[in-house]
């Protein structure tokens, strides 16, 4: 029995828990805790304290685990632990909150430093009326044209599947590239 994992990271309240919940076959084990600081409270009431944990069984001997990192900075000691052995990672960005783009960028860089695995960026909450256009976000996030920036609605399984698939295609492409 093999297990592989992917990590879903991104700033506070970007939709990581929701994303994993959409595709996990088990109820996502999230340790949500009531938020303490007032600034964060205006965004939402509960935050993931340690991490979310979702599972997709592939077949008898392969299971994929999705780990969501806690959004709040003060739990970032978990990041390195989580990134160990991951197949790839997804950076969730809340398209409606440009004030979080800089942090998203910094999280992305941190994870890249932990492991040279493929990654994709997910422009989440594209269903919201005030969501930024994906191409505008690419500029704001200073993402190279090579980096996949994918529109997403975390509650919509189709878009979540697409993000996961694009990441897997990147992983596959890298394996092919490395073989040459």
Partner 1 sequence: MALRGNLRDFTVTQLLNLINLAHKTGTLVIEGPSEVARVAFRDGKLAYAQVGQEDNRLATVLHRSNRLTAGQYNAIIQRAAHVTDKELGLLLINAGYLSQGDILTALQAYFTDVVRRLFTWVEGFFRFENEMMPPEDRINVRLDLENLIIEGARQLREWEQLQDEIPSLDMALKFTERPDTNIQKMNLSVEEWRVVSFINPKNTIRQIGAAAKMGDLEIRRIVYGLLQAGLVEVVRPEGAPPTAQERTRAAAPVQDKEEQKSLVNRLITRIRSI
Ligand X SMILES: Nc1nc2c(ncn2[C@@H]2O[C@H](COP(=O)(O)OP(=O)(O)OP(=O)(O)O)[C@@H](O)[C@H]2O)c(=O)[nH]1
Question: What is the rounded CA–CA span in Å between residue 169 and residue 147?
Answer: 13
Comparing CB distances to ligand X, the nearer of 11 and 118 is: 11
Q: In residues, how long is the chain?
A: 180
Detail the DSSP E strand segments found in the chain.
2-9, 32-34, 46-48, 52-59, 62-68, 88-94, 119-124, 149-151
* Candidate list 5, 6, 7, 12; residue touching ligand X; CB under 6 A: 12
Does 172 sit near partner 1 (CB under 8 A)?
yes
Question: What is the rounded CA–CA span in Å between residue 65 and residue 74?
Answer: 24
Number of residues that bind partner 1 (CB under 8 A): 43
Does 114 sit near partner 1 (CB under 8 A)?
no
Does 135 sit near partner 1 (CB under 8 A)?
no
Question: What is the rounded CA–CA span in Å between residue 157 and residue 136?
Answer: 24
- DSSP classification of residue 148: -
Residue whose beta carbon is closest to ligand X: 71
The minimum distance between CB 10 and ligand X, in angstroms, equals 6
Instruction: Measure Cα distances from 100 to 91, 104, 106, 110 in Å.
Output: 12, 6, 10, 15
Does 140 sit near partner 1 (CB under 8 A)?
no
3-state secondary structure of 29: coil
Q: Which stretch binds partner 1 (CB under 8 A): 9-17, 27-35, 96-104, 127-135?
A: 27-35
Contact set for ligand X, span 77-106 (CB under 6 A)? none
Which residues contact partner 1 by CB under 8 A? Answer: 1-5, 23, 26-29, 31, 49-51, 53, 56-59, 62-64, 67, 75, 78, 81-82, 84-87, 157, 161, 164-165, 168-169, 171-172, 175-176, 178-179
């Amino acid at each position: 029995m093999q297990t592989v994992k992917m990590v879903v990271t991104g700033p506070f309240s970007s939709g990581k828990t929701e994303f994993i919940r959409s595709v996990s076959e088990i109820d996502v084990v999230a340790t949500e805790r009531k938020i303490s600081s007032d600034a964060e409270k205006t965004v939402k009431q509960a935050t993931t304290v340690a991490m979310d944990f979702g599972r997709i069984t592939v077949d008898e001997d392969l299971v994929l685990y999705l780990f969501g990192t806690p959004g709040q900075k003060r739990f970032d000691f978990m990041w390195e632990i989580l990134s160990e052995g991951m197949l790839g990672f997804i950076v969730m960005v809340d398209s409606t909150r440009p004030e979080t783009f800089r942090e998203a960028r910094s999280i992305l860089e941190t994870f890249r430093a932990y492991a040279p695995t493929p990654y994709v960026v997910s422009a989440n909450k594209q269903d919201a009326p005030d969501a930024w256009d994906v191409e505008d976000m690419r500029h704001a996030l200073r993402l190279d044209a090579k980096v996949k920036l994918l529109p997403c609605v975390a509650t919509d399984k189709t878009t979540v599947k697409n993000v996961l698939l694009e990441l897997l295609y990147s992983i596959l492409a890298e394996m092919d590239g490395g073989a040459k």
